[in-house]
Amino acid sequence: MTASYYVRPVGRVPQPVGARQHQAMHGVAISARSDLVFAAAELIERSAGQISRRSVPAAELGQLAPRELMQCLLQPREPIAGLALDRPRIMGILNVTPDSFSDGGQFLAPDAAIEHGLRLEAEGADIVDVGAESTRPGSNPVDVEEELRRVLPVIEGLAPRLRVPLSIDTRKAEVMHRAAAAGARLINDVSALTHDPRSLQVAAETGLPVVLMHAQGDPRTMQDNPHYADVVLDIYDWLAGRIDACEQAGIPRTRLIVDPGIGFGKTLAHNLALLGSLSIFHGLGCAILLGASRKSFIAPLSAPGSTDRLGGSVAAALLGVEQGVQLLRVHDVAATRQAVAVWQRASGRLPPG
Ligand code: 7PJ
């Protein structure tokens, strides 16, 4: 039984606002970003079910962590769908499901969806994620014809009118293929290319970057009784396995984005453990996406009777940003963008003006 190693960078060191390169404060700079310098790390070893953890100052990490893992942490990330990942990027959510853009729940209105997509861009989205199959807990699957009928008119209508790239949120190979042909620039699959037996090959053929999201179980039943030995490490290992599968299918790691899948087969405790350990996923050598927006884990943390989840959503997004998450999938683009701008200006990354 060989041991597995993990590094969770901790203690981001904000650089002095306005400081020059030679005045930078030192530490381990994740993906070579000067705004993602960490003072220390938790070095974790798992072997035969036993987990040991130690704190290591950044300066000693290079001697103690496996070389390949250090390379994954330090390597700059390639742009995704034309977006440089030198700062947090916002993915605006565009749901084309009957309950989101409906006329009496009877039929979908592509025009309303297109308008909403344009509004997401105007609010500051760097990418717009279009999806037509609800994967919320308890939801039922949608067949491929119905999904195409909902999503294609929206992609075809939006792609020529947007300056930012479109992403397709689907678990189906045929939808990936058709959406790519219609102008989608990124594939976002909540099953990490496991749901449809053709999706690994089809995603590879599109040449597009792919978001690999972790889920335990199917949307209909995933919240029944989720269980992990160690939620963070189990999800890390599972994502590492999906990266391997993608590489074997011809999708290089530079084109992959990993996502722990907040709310997909997770209890409140699981979700909170993940939000507090997001920086560990840099060790996979990919960009990280976080989707916590308006999710139900926020409800039990809210005041009685409160239904608004904006505060919790923005807090979760900033937890991600502080840990170096590059992509935030959100409904509330304007509020998230404002929060990210405050973080960036106070991090010495951008001039205050
Ligand atoms: C996610 C997603 C997420 C990624 C949904 C909802 C449920 N895709 N699609 N990550 N969630 N990559 O938005 O509440 O967390 S649908």
Q: Mind listing the domains of the chain with CATH numbers?
A: 4-74 (no CATH), 89-346 (3.20.20.20)
Nearest one of 342, 335, 341, 289 to 312, comparing CA atoms: 335
Nearest alpha carbon, ligand 1 atom 2: 190
Name the 3-class secondary structure at 175. helix
Q: Is the pLDDT of residue 329 over 90?
A: yes
Ligand 1, pocket-test mutation among 97, 187, 190, most atoms within 8 A of CB: 190
Structure confidence by residue, pLDDT tens digits, 48-106: 999 999 999 999 999 999 999 999 999 999 999 999 999 999 999 999 987 665 444 43
89 is catalytic: no
What separation, in Å, do the N-terminal and C-terminal C-alpha atoms of the chain show? Answer: 55
**Is ligand 1 within 6 A of the CB of residue 116?**
no
Mean pLDDT of the 202-231 span: 93
Percent of the chain with pLDDT over 70: 94
Catalytic residue among 150, 172, 329, 337: 329
136 is catalytic: no
Taking CA atoms, 81 is separated from 163, 209, 255, 280, in Å, by: 12, 7, 9, 24
The pLDDT of residue 104 is 45
Mean pLDDT of the 301-305 span: 94
Task: Supply the pTM of this predicted model.
Answer: 0.96
Distance 179 CA to ligand 1 centre (A): 18
